[in-house]
Amino acid sequence: NRDKDVMHAPVYASRTIDGVIVEAALQWCSDGFSDNILGFVNSIKTTDGGTHMDGLKAALTRTLNTLARKSKILKESDPNLSGDHCREGLGAIISVKVPNPEFEGQTKTRLGNPEVRKIVERVVAEDISESLESDPKTLGNILNKAIQAFKAAEAAKKARELVRRKSVLTKSTLPGKLADCSAGFKDSEVFLVEGDSAGGSAKQARDRKFQREDPQRGEEGRRGPVQERGDQQHHHGPRARAPRGGGPARPPLQQD
């Protein structure tokens, strides 16, 4: 983390379990937006990761979510923070000494011992939890950064959904009187209005954030069998159905 804006002094985890020596150092930076985790097995760098790094990541995600709820920073109704959110800005080193390491991959740079993951996860979870609980300020800073990462990801997701929605409506040949809403599809409502006078009143009264106006063609839509005939013949019919994903009715299936 050299030349970065570090948020706290390094947090350490170190212990030996079943002959496996685990040593880890972690430090978050306020100006980092990704993680940088280095792994070593018996002093050999594991460029392709492995079970020791998987254990570290799992322990961090579980521990930070547990501490966030324990400290009331996350409410019961709030979703859990993902691993990516918890590790944003993290610089870490995990080193293990394993009596009988099993390496995977063509270059043999990925640790495959399944028991190492459980050991690393236990050591990191217990030691990091103890260190952060004794330093509420550092814990709060780390959790706030993770929550900001979560909010940024959610905002980006909503922006993508809105762009895709607008793109679909822009490409469709929609009637000029259709008035779209600005909210996402999960919270939207559609008003079906008939005639210019009703449409004008509805447009003024609606909440444009989640209520959309969809014009219908006048009287012939109310005449039973004539509805389908008139709707298909008039150019507003299929165009008005387009934003709702509708189409002409299909005949019932015939059984042999």
Low-confidence winner among 29-33, 80-84, 165-169, 236-240 (lowest mean pLDDT): 236-240
What pLDDT sits at residue 223?
A: 46
Which pTM was predicted? Answer: 0.65
What pLDDT sits at residue 4?
A: 87
Strands (E), the chain: 11-17, 20-28, 36-41, 44-45, 90-97, 103-104, 110-111, 189-194, 211-216
What pLDDT sits at residue 229?
A: 47
pLDDT (tens digit, 9 = 90+) per residue, 146-200?
999 999 998 988 888 888 877 666 655 555 555 666 555 566 666 566 655 555 5
Strands (E), 42-174: 44-45, 90-97, 103-104, 110-111
| Torsion angle of the four alpha carbons 134, 140, 145, 151, in this order, in degrees rounded to the nearest 10 | 130
Mean pLDDT, residues 26-32 taken together: 95
What pLDDT sits at residue 208?
A: 61
pLDDT (tens digit, 9 = 90+) per residue, 243-252?
555 555 555 5
Residue 34 has pLDDT above 60, yes or no: yes
What pLDDT sits at residue 129?
A: 97
Low-confidence winner among 98-102, 118-122, 251-255 (lowest mean pLDDT): 251-255
The mean pLDDT value of the chain amounts to: 81
What pLDDT sits at residue 6?
A: 94
Domains and their CATH numbers in the chain: 11-152 (3.30.230.10), 169-244 (no CATH)
Residue 126 has pLDDT above 70, yes or no: yes
